[in-house]
Amino acid sequence: MDPGASLTAGIVVLTIVTIETGGVLMLRIVRGQKRANVLQSTFFRAGHAHAGVLVILGLVMLLLSQAAGVGEPWAGVGPTGVLVSAILMPAGFFLSVLGTDPQRPGRAIALVWLGAGVLAVGLIATGIGLISAAASAAA
């Protein structure tokens, strides 16, 4: 693995501690130790789940790209897009329901949709990069 990818992976692995902290918040809500309405509870759960899944997916994309020898720009755009979506989507879920008793999501919900778009770009770039690396290796 090249040093840049190794640095990125190390930083991302350390951020998983923040996802773990979010799990503690979820546990407190489920146990009734922290107040949250139904909308908040649902959105907090979705944000926590998306963060965990997308961080793992981003690390997998990074490893696949490195292992296959994917060249630029695909090697940078793909995994980075997936990892950026791991910030945007959960942020949209969490930030859109801040407040005492929100009845519907706020404007920050746009971050979920932006994150979904960035995720799609990252996945497409990784897929193209992997196919391109395979075609180059076969030639």
Residues 6+ apart with CB under 8 A from 113: 92
| Backbone φ and ψ of 3, nearest 5° | -60, -35
Which of 113, 109, 116, 110 is CA-nearest to residue 42? 109
Residue type (1 letter), 25: L
pLDDT number for residue 2: 87
Residue with the two structure tokens 């799990």: 23
Span 105-121, mean pLDDT? 98
Number of neighbouring beta carbons within 10 Å of residue 18: 12
pLDDT tens-digit series, residues 9-53: 999 999 999 999 888 888 998 898 999 999 999 999 999 999 999
